[in-house]
């Protein structure tokens, strides 16, 4: 029987501005198949960016484990790439974390920042396992307390300690279910995420953010030279379901603008609310119209000749 290793990891970031996490520490705990610790390390690195002011604010109860100067005295992610890659992708190791899709995304972003190939691996989300097992939601250290793990030597938001806490709570579930670590993961294979899945999700978020920004460029603006005078001075609001098709929503926004209308994020007073071509319940329609709003369907706007 081939024995597997288990790698529990956690990342801390200097900031997540623009939706991109810049890693300043990656902590890991490597165990054997019985979850005995083989080695652990807090890989501290220079994020080569500014730190979010809140991380070191007295108001923040969970501050980073090291000072800004200590982080900046270390090499950057690129210097650790060759060390980290085989840890995650050697083919004989199960990788896990708590809310692990975030951490996989941070590793992806670091690879992109330093023009490195992605480290291709799949990771098991211990948070989802705990939520399912106990039908509850808690933070990592709350789970550790709930499961009576010995946390006396561990500090929250120190990457290696968060990785250790993740291993300890996972071990408790193994004991509760009377299953090996490998069997527990196999029985919950839906809780794995891959590098590729996380990268695709990030691309989708980026696309949605960019498209939504383009749509909102039309907000609170009236064309000085409308191509048509269909909506001169009329006010509009886009129902949130319109945003389920962002290309369509952008087209609708353009046509309203070109017709002399003005789109607002939220209407105040009378105006038009744009809905997709769906049946609206009579009571909902009556409620909307009672407030002085007129319902207009997306197809009515789209049928106008460009």
Sign of CA dihedral 89, 91, 97, 100: positive
- Give the end of a domain, one of 207, 236, 266: 207
| Type and span of the H or E element at 149 | none
Token pair for residue 103? Answer: 């951490």
Q: Answer yes or no: do 257 and 123 share one domain.
A: no
Q: Which is nearest to 227 in space by CA: 294, 304, 297?
A: 304
- Give the end of a domain, one of 207, 233, 250: 207
- pLDDT of 181 above 70: yes
Q: Answer yes or no: do 152 and 240 share one domain.
A: no
Q: Answer yes or no: do 165 and 268 share one domain.
A: no
List all residues 6 or more positions away from 161 whose beta carbon is below 8 Å from its beta carbon. 27, 65, 154, 155
Q: CB of 252 within 8 A of CB of 267?
A: no
Domain count, the chain: 2
Number of H helices, E strands in the chain: 11, 10
Q: Answer yes or no: do 67 and 122 share one domain.
A: yes
Q: pLDDT tier at 119 (50, 70, 90 boundaries)? A: very high
State the residue range of the domain holding 233.
217-302
Q: CB of 304 within 8 A of CB of 228?
A: yes
Whether residue 19 lies inside any domain: the answer is yes
Q: Identify the pLDDT of residue 269.
A: 82
Q: Answer yes or no: do 28 and 97 share one domain.
A: yes
- Give the end of a domain, one of 207, 238, 270: 207
Q: Answer yes or no: do 134 and 251 share one domain.
A: no
Q: CB of 222 within 8 A of CB of 235?
A: no
Lowest mean pLDDT among 69-83, 105-119, 219-233, 275-289: 275-289
Q: CB of 233 within 8 A of CB of 269?
A: no
Q: Answer yes or no: do 26 and 98 share one domain.
A: yes
Q: For the chain, what percentages of helix, strand and coil (3-state, to nearest 5) are there?
A: 45, 20, 35
Q: Answer yes or no: do 287 and 157 share one domain.
A: no
133-155: per-residue pLDDT in tens?
999 999 999 999 999 999 999 98
Q: pLDDT tier at 131 (50, 70, 90 boundaries)? A: very high
User: Residue 148, by phi and psi: left (phi above 0), alpha (psi -120 to 50) or beta?
Assistant: left
Q: Answer yes or no: do 142 and 252 share one domain.
A: no
Q: Answer yes or no: do 112 and 165 share one domain.
A: yes
Q: CB of 292 within 8 A of CB of 270?
A: yes
Q: For residues 23 and 285, what is the distance between their CA atoms, to the nearest angstrom?
A: 49
Tell me, yes or no, if the pTM score tops 0.85.
no
Q: pLDDT tier at 57 (50, 70, 90 boundaries)? A: confident
Which residue is it, tokens 């979010």?
Answer: 52
Q: Answer yes or no: do 121 and 235 share one domain.
A: no
- pLDDT of 127 above 90: yes
Q: Answer yes or no: do 138 and 279 share one domain.
A: no
CATH code for position 237: 3.40.50.10190
Helix (H, G, I), strand (E, B) or coil at 280: coil
Q: Identify the pLDDT of residue 305.
A: 55
255-306: per-residue pLDDT in tens?
999 999 999 999 988 899 999 877 788 888 888 888 889 999 999 999 865 5
């Amino acid at each position: 029987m081939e024995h597997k290793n288990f790698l529990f990891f956690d990342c801390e970031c200097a900031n997540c501005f623009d939706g991109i996490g810049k890693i300043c520490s990656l902590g890991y705990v490597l165990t054997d198949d019985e979850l005995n610790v083989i080695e652990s390390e807090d890989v501290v690195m220079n994020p080569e960016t500014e730190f979010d002011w809140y991380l070191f604010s007295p108001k923040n109860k969970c501050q980073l484990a090291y000072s800004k100067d200590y982080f900046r005295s270390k090499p950057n992610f690129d210097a650790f790439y060759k060390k980290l890659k085989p840890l995650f992708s050697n083919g004989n190791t199960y990788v896990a974390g708590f809310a692990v899709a975030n951490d996989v995304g941070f590793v992806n972003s670091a690879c992109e920042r330093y023009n490195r190939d992605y480290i291709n691996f799949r990771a098991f989300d211990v948070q989802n396992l705990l939520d399912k097992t106990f039908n509850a939601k808690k933070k990592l250290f709350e789970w550790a307390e709930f499961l009576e793990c010995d946390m006396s030597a561990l500090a929250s938001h120190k990457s290696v300690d968060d990785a250790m806490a993740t291993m300890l709570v996972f071990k408790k579930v193994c004991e509760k279910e009377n299953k090996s670590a490998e069997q527990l993961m196999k029985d919950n294979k839906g809780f794995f995420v891959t590098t590729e899945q996380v990268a695709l999700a990030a691309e989708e978020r980026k696309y949605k953010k960019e498209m939504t920004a383009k749509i909102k460029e039309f907000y609170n603006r009236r064309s000085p030279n409308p191509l048509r005078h269909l909506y001169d001075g009329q006010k509009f609001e886009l129902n949130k379901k319109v945003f389920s098709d962002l290309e369509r929503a952008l087209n609708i926004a353009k046509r309203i603008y070109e017709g002399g209308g003005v789109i607002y994020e939220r209407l105040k007073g009378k105006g038009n609310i744009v809905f997709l071509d769906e049946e609206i319940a009579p009571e909902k329609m009556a409620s909307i119209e009672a407030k002085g709003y007129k319902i207009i369907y997306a197809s009515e706007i789209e049928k106008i000749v460009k």
